[in-house]
Chains A and B, each alone.
Chain A
Amino acid sequence: MHVGIDTGGTNVDAVLVDDGIRASGKVPGDRDNPVEHLLEELLDGQQAVERVVVATTLLLNAAVQERLPACTNVLVPGPGLSPERAFHGEANHVAAGCVDHRGRVTEEPAYERRPATETVAVTAKFGTRNPEPERELRETLDSDAASVALGHAAGPGLNFPDRAATTVANARTAGTFAGFASEIDDALDTVGVDAPVYYLKGDAAMLSADAMATRPAQALRAGPAASALGLVALTGVEDAVCVDIGGTTTDVTRVTDGFPVTEPVEAGSLETGYDGVRAVDLPLGGDTRVAADGLTGRREGHASAFGGDEPTLTDALSVTGALEDTGGALDSEAARTAFESFERPRAVAAGVVDSYVSRVADAIASVAPNATRLVAGGVLAPSLADRLADAAGIGESLVPDHAAVAGAVGCATARVSVETGIHIDSARGTVTVSALGTETEPVERGRTFDDDEVATLAIERAREAARRAGAQSDTEMPVNVRHTRRFNVVEKARVAGQVVDATAQVEPGLGVELGGDR
């Protein structure tokens, strides 16, 4: 049994999934210990829980609202273009030292200053070819540094300025992530669930909690990733625009070839080299407060129809008679009363529904201009899907069963994905593997590799990284070897070894098929 938990701005949703959806629930996120209560309600103590997968919008909200701590960005740029190209911290300190393209330390690292903040990022040029200088600098930092992220742990690949930005993002999100993860651990302890915990990445794959803790910026776009993957799992669509209508926000994403489309993620002042689902995140949802002149873009509490005090979009749907079954107790009288404060309640209600529909249609046009199918999730999906499709000029709309908890379904059906870079330099006698971190190990000096050996090694190492990130079986690990190259290293007019590079990815995908066949 997989447990999927999606903690959004308004509600916490959870599902239990094995080869189908066995149970689901939804509680308001503002009550005490929502995860604990939800799991107590869903789990009867009989099911063996294999894994718990969690998505949160907490990091994204903190980033967008600029509530993350400031970071001192310590760089070891060595010679090259101006280090300012990698100045992504609130303070930026340039340290001495140089790692060259073969991972050799050609100048010793030395950091003479003190970080200006408790949050610190350390990134060396070519740090993914040799992690040692970053580790050495970390040792010299004062122990009062609360959170230190190292560039070689950010992921494989070459691009020093981008890696510095990503490392700063990891450092700045680490505290928020750790706090959230410890709340989840406490809730699971309380309800007696002792299963590995995973977190959803923005690219709709997952990582073990430990792996995510070193690169939490990967979780920035977990919210829209969860709902997009959930809608794919529930419907089996290959190509569609997905609209997830939450209480606070509406996420518009796109699916092509059976998986959400991704892009490099930016959020607030954070830039990362991590892929996340391409999403337009509108600040409008079922609980968005309605004023006489329309939607305010603010959420001040629940819809009146669900026990709140103020008129909202959900209430507007109720007043116009468009509100379909929401799966919960609904007080349409309260909705009507809330709108009575307006001079012309029905006109205001119809106006805000129109305005919501047209803003979502604009978002659809920018994310998926040629979409021919719309899939909707969220509690209001049955009430709005057809209207949204009409407004966007899309012929077919689809609201699957369990659409109200699509994000939690996405969590429960995700699988592990890790990108791995391998750099062999047999003239130096080293193999450097970058995946969840960067590690260097010895290899026989002068050894040469043929193409098949390189591919085999890349697949092995990618699977090893995926297992370390929590993947449990090889069937969950289709590997795509993306790039290989190799050439001789000539020293003193003889072939001293080979340099070999390969990158391989255990690909994101559905870990559980729910049998959707669209």
Chain B
Amino acid sequence: MTLALYYHEDYLLHEHTPTHPERRERLQYTMDQLREEGLLDSPAVDICAPEPASTADLHRVHDGEYLDRLRYMSRRGEGQLSVDTHVSEHVWEQARLAAGGVADAVEAVATGTHPRSFVMARPGGHHAFADDGHGFCYLNNTAVALRRVQATTDVDRILLWDWDAHHCDGTQSIFADDPSVLVMSTHQSGRTLFPGTGFVREVGAGAGEGYTVNVPLSPRTGDDAYLRVVEEIFEPIAEQYDPDLLFVEAGQDNHFTDPITDLGVTAQGYARLMERAVDAADELCDGRLAASLAGGYGIEGGLPYTNLAVIASLAGLETSNIREPALYEPPSASPGVERVIDRVKERHGEYWDF
């Protein structure tokens, strides 16, 4: 089992502001950890260099007018898409390289060059809409990637599990009426966190009705509660949907040290979640599983350990010793998830059997 790990030094170039939470050491401390673990020199991992997404790739998802605007702003190296989403001179090239990295990683799995892949990229993409961006996102990396493999390989049906703490509003809007991509999002409820969407009632539209699944969670939701959601919602729907490929948008901001969210997942919890994804892919789609880093701002106590956990799970390595140093104390209690599980089952009962 060799995991394809897509990474490029140019993923470090873009900076919003000197103190912005979405900053380069999100990747650098993790890369230090992976290097010190010996993973980057190990046969378990192939380091793969991404190519920028092509113009054709971008036009499958985004409006030409938006792409022109973003490229123009980036060339000038100034401006903002929203109050917290800044455009630097590196944004255009780096966002294309991030989208290209995710597309290359999905393609590697779709064409069988690697059984699984992970993309360590920034900026993220899931808050990018066809015609605008916000939430630290410019191009919708995942949508660009999934549209490319659907256009160029025999992969048709894709199950997308976005477990970032923030609801994937951009991705949901792009695939809302499309049953060929089932978008399932587990996230901290929009009542308490940006972007304020992703409620149970949002189920997709037209031909895509029932192919958008939202599981909004209460603050402090922890490992066991997440695993219940996996068992009671994710796994039954995945089985019935029977995808050709599973994609996980692996936001690491459910971690209990994350400074801008309020969830309670640990590094061990992340290892378990990715193991479940691996199992589901093995069972349903010949093991085809691609994943990418999304959010995650617990730069010191979270990311090095959570990224290691998901990468080790994907690479089939032993994960039992992966945890946060004792300095960081995980929350002692998690709220229940019975109510939200019941509401999802009730709302989606007309599309899926539970």
Contacts and interface: CB of A to CB of B under 8 A. Distances in A.
B partners with A = yes
Contacts, number: 92
A82 B316 CA distance: 12
B324 A79 contact: yes
Nearest to A83: B321
B41 interface: yes
Given A81-B321, A82-B318, A499-B25, A487 B12 contact: yes
B347 to A, nearest CB: 39
Contacts of B344: none
Interface residues of B, number: 34
Interface stretch (B30-38, B152-160, B245-253): B30-38
B304 A101 contact: yes
Contacts of A125: 36-37
Contact of A81 (B24, B317, B326): B317
Contact of B325 (A78, A487, A488): A78
Contacts of B35: 158-159
Interface string A471-489: 0000000000000010111
A125 B38 CA distance: 10
Contacts of B325: 78-79, 98, 100, 106-107
B8 interface: no
B323 interface: yes
Contacts of A80: 33, 36-37, 305, 308, 321-322
Contacts of A135: none
Interface in A92-150: 98, 100-102, 106-107, 125-126
B327 A79 contact: no
B352 interface: no
Interface stretch (A11-19, A303-311, A490-498): A490-498
B313 to A, nearest CB: 11
Interface residues of A, number: 32
A87 interface: no
A172 B149 CA distance: 53
Contacts of A490: 18-19, 23, 299
Nearest to A160: B36
A159 B41 contact: yes
Contacts of A85: 37-38
Nearest to B24: A487
Interface of A: 77-86, 98, 100-102, 106-107, 125-126, 158-162, 485, 487-490, 493-495, 499
20 contacts: A79-B322, A80-B36, A80-B321, A81-B39, A81-B308, A81-B312, A81-B322, A84-B318, A85-B37, A98-B325, A98-B326, A101-B304, A106-B327, A159-B35, A162-B38, A487-B23, A487-B28, A488-B18, A490-B18, A495-B19
Interface of B: 12, 18-19, 23-25, 28-29, 32-33, 35-39, 41, 267, 299-300, 304-305, 308, 312, 317-327
Given A85-B38, A160-B38, A488-B19, 5 more contacts: A79-B324, A79-B325, A102-B300, A160-B36, A493-B19
